[in-house]
């Protein structure tokens, strides 16, 4: 780009990403020609407004009108106006250097970043591969820094891999499945490069990733929002890739719920952790991917048919999640008093949850003001655990209503020691222990209490927390979390995760120079510095989808 300047790996570029989104948008009107309608969003509190020096806008977010011919809509203020207004933290330059060291090249072009650059580790396993979910924060960092080409190449290479025939033990996977990861093999003799993909056939536990396809769609939309380049998503192969993913997850079957049935280990929590069924992480990503896909599908005959299916699923999914996965103080009290063995459509306890199954910890954990989406809901079972990624994505995708989003932030503030502690952010809370740990995890030695997926603290989640904080007008929470991370991350060589109730100890098997820990920090810093970047990863609420709930609005009391 013209006028760019390299400084510690950070390029000084103009910000072109708009935060305009689908405010007051009715999904049933997706088939109509949309009109651009931008209005002013609520400002931050006085302190954050003066510090961030930027205003936010909201409006209709549609694929066709994100950018207009002859000029880009949205923010176009030179980034230097905010970036040069303070002294950058010395960690930023180190982070950029480490991120660039993790780049993977295919035929001379960068196509992704490896999971970790830890030469001290005895076992490489698959940490030298490019993971779809791991690359997302790296991609966002490059997009925010005005370097979109690597993201474009990644999207095209993974799309190419999607087209491969996928067989595991003579069983063929769905055509739309995206790989968990891929590796570039260099042949120095023949001077050729080749790709090797893993769709689950080599993974620990042999579980195929459900989230890869959703992250791919979300990242394609982020690329489009950041660059204004409509041509990539409009390519026939990209349109086909989106539709193949949608065909997999929108197929009709025996399920009576609009949520997506998933196996244990199918997401970021990629080992057995008792999330089988309808894990919040997958449902939130599913919801967000559907919304992103609906904005990028062409309005031809086939595209309109997919959009109609998306609209129907979104309405059902939003109602189901907001009604049955949501927990606040009043709802917890209602479940505590549930009657069981109720029959017919008039039943209040629709899933026949036995009140005695409510764990003791949740009564003390739940504040009188606040709430969250619980981990799982299925027949006779509610997983009351807190899962960070699912709740943050619920906010960013507007699966959470405005009131619910504010309640989630209230909960984080009220339970700061439990959910943040000394290193952001707990992936799940609380940890499962003793006999329950043996049953649920299969005695997994890596997932012992307060470690790894079992209550460990993951720095990568910092970018999701920061995005959720900015969207809800609470940047001071993100600033506090980033300050915590800056006391340890560089000194500890960018670990994958931390152990302990407060996240005080570097994880016992954590890789050093974990790429998404590095990228997550950079994205959080850049987003807090220039909140307009939020537009590439956030969607505003569709008020037409608000259900009439029986639930208490205790978070507004």
Cis peptide before 430 (omega within 30 of 0): yes
Counting Cβ atoms within 10 Å, is residue 551 exposed (0-12), middle (13-18) or buried (19+)? middle
CA 545 – CA 81 distance, rounded (Å)? 39
pLDDT of residue 124: 82
> Does residue 297 have a pLDDT over 60?
yes
Residues 135, 440: Cα–Cα separation, whole Å: 29
Residues 434-485: tens digit of each pLDDT? 999 999 999 999 999 999 999 999 999 999 999 999 999 999 999 999 999 9
Predicted confidence (pLDDT) at residue 76 exceeds the cutoff of 90? no
Predicted confidence band of residue 269 (pLDDT cuts 50, 70, 90)? very high
pLDDT value of residue 334: 95
Residue 285's φ and ψ, nearest 5 degrees, are: -65, -40
Q: What is d(CA 505, CA 481) in angstroms, rounded to the nearest whole number?
A: 17
Structural contact between residues 428 and 453, judged by C-beta atoms closer than 8 angstroms: yes
pLDDT at residue 26 tops 80 = no
Distance CA 149, CA 156 (A): 11
pLDDT in tens, 40-70: 333 333 333 333 333 333 333 433 333 323 2
Which residues neighbour 288 within 8 Å (Cβ) at sequence distance 6 or greater? Answer: 214, 218, 393, 396, 397, 399, 539
Alpha carbon distance 334, 345 (integer Å): 18
The answer, yes or no, to whether residue 286 has pLDDT greater than 60, is: yes
Nearest residue to 223 (alpha-carbon basis) of 296, 297, 129: 296
Q: Indicate if the pLDDT at residue 555 is higher than 80.
A: no
Question: Could you tell me the pLDDT band of residue 122, with boundaries at 50, 70 and 90?
Answer: low
Tens digits of residue pLDDT in 355-411: 999 999 999 999 999 999 999 999 999 999 999 999 999 999 999 999 999 999 999
% of residues, the chain, pLDDT over 70: 81
Least trusted range by pLDDT, from 112-126, 204-218, 286-300, 338-352: 112-126
Burial of residue 360, with CB atoms counted within 10 A of its CB: 0-12 exposed, 13-18 middle, 19 or more buried: exposed
pLDDT of residue 537: 98
470: Cα within 13 Å, side-chain hemisphere: 29
pTM of the full structure: 0.85
**Taking residues 140-169, what's their average pLDDT?**
93
One DSSP character per residue, 442-493 reads SS-GGG-TTBTTBT-B-TTHHHHHHHHHHHTT-HHHHHHHHHHHHTTTTTTT
pLDDT at residue number 134: 98
| Confidence label for 10 from pLDDT (cuts 50, 70 and 90) | low
Per-residue model confidence (pLDDT) at position 345: 85
Centre a 10 Å sphere on the Cβ of residue 268 and count the other Cβ atoms it contains: 24
Q: Pairing between strand 10-11 and 371-373?
A: unpaired
Task: Please check whether residue 426 is in contact with residue 457, taking contact to mean a CB–CB distance below 8 angstroms.
Answer: yes
Q: What pLDDT shows up at residue 153?
A: 98
pLDDT of res. 545: 64
Q: Output the pLDDT for position 501.
A: 98
Q: What dihedral angle (degrees, nearest 10) is formed by the CA atoms of 230, 236, 237, 242?
A: 70
Cβ atoms 257, 313 nearer than 8 A:
no
Residue 170, pLDDT score: 74
Mean pLDDT of the chain: 85
């Amino acid at each position: 780009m013209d006028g760019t300047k390299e400084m510690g790996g950070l390029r000084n570029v103009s910000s072109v990403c708009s935060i305009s989104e689908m405010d007051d948008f009715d999904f049933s009107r997706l088939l109509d020609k949309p009109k651009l309608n931008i209005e002013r969003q609520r400002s931050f509190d006085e302190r954050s407004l003066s510090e961030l020096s930027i205003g936010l806008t909201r409006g209709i977010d549609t694929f066709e009108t994100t950018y207009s011919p002859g000029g880009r809509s949205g923010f176009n203020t030179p980034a230097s106006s905010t970036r040069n207004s303070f002294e950058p933290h010395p960690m930023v330059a180190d982070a950029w250097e480490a991120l660039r060291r993790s780049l993977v090249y295919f035929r001379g072009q960068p196509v992704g970043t490896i999971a970790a650059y830890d030469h001290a580790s005895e076992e490489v396993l698959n940490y030298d591969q490019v993971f779809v979910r791991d690359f997302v924060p790296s991609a966002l960092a490059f997009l925010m820094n005005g370097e979109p080409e690597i993201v474009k190449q990644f999207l095209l290479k993974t799309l190419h891999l999607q087209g491969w025939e996928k067989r595991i033990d003579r069983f063929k996977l769905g055509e739309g499945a995206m790989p968990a990861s891929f590796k570039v093999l260099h042949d120095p003799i023949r001077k050729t490069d080749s790709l090797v993909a893993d769709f689950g056939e080599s993974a620990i536990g042999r579980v195929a990733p459900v989230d890869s396809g959703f992250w791919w769609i979300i990242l394609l939309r982020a690329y489009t929002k950041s660059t204004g380049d409509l041509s990539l998503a409009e390519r026939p192969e990209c349109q086909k890739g989106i539709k193949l993913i949608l065909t997999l997850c929108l197929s009709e079957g025996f399920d009576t719920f609009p949520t997506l049935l998933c196996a244990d280990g199918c997401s970021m929590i990629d080992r057995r952790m008792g999330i089988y069924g309808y894990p919040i992480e997958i449902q939130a990503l599913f919801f967000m991917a559907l919304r992103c896909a609906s904005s990028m599908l062409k309005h031809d005959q086939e595209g309109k048919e997919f959009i109609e299916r998306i609209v129907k699923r979104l309405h059902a999914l939003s109602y189901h999640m907001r009604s049955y996965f949501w927990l606040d103080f009043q709802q917890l009290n209602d479940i505590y008093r549930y009657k069981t063995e109720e029959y017919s459509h008039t039943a209040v306890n629709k899933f026949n949850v036995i009140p005695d199954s409510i764990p003791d910890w949740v009564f003390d954990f739940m504040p009188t003001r606040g709430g969250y989406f619980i981990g799982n809901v299925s027949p006779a079972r509610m997983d009351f655990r807190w899962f960070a990624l699912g709740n943050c994505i619920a906010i960013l995708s507007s699966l959470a209503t405005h009131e619910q989003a504010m309640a989630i932030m209230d909960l984080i503030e009220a339970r700061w020691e439990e959910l943040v502690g000394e290193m952001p952010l707990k992936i799940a809370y609380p940890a499962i222990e003793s006999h329950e740990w043996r049953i649920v995890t299969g005695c997994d030695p890596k997932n012992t209490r307060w470690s790894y997926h079992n209550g460990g603290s993951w720095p990568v989640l910092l970018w999701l927390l920061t995005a959720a904080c900015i969207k809800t007008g609470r940047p001071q929470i993100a600033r506090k979390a980033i300050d915590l991370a800056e006391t340890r991350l560089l000194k500890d060589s960018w670990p994958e995760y931390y152990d302990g109730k407060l996240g005080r100890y570097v994880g016992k098997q954590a890789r050093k120079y974990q790429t998404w820990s590095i990228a997550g920090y950079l994205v959080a810093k850049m987003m807090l510095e220039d909140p307009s970047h939020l537009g590439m990863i956030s969607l505003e609420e569709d008020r037409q989808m608000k259900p009439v709930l029986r639930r208490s609005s205790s978070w507004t009391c």
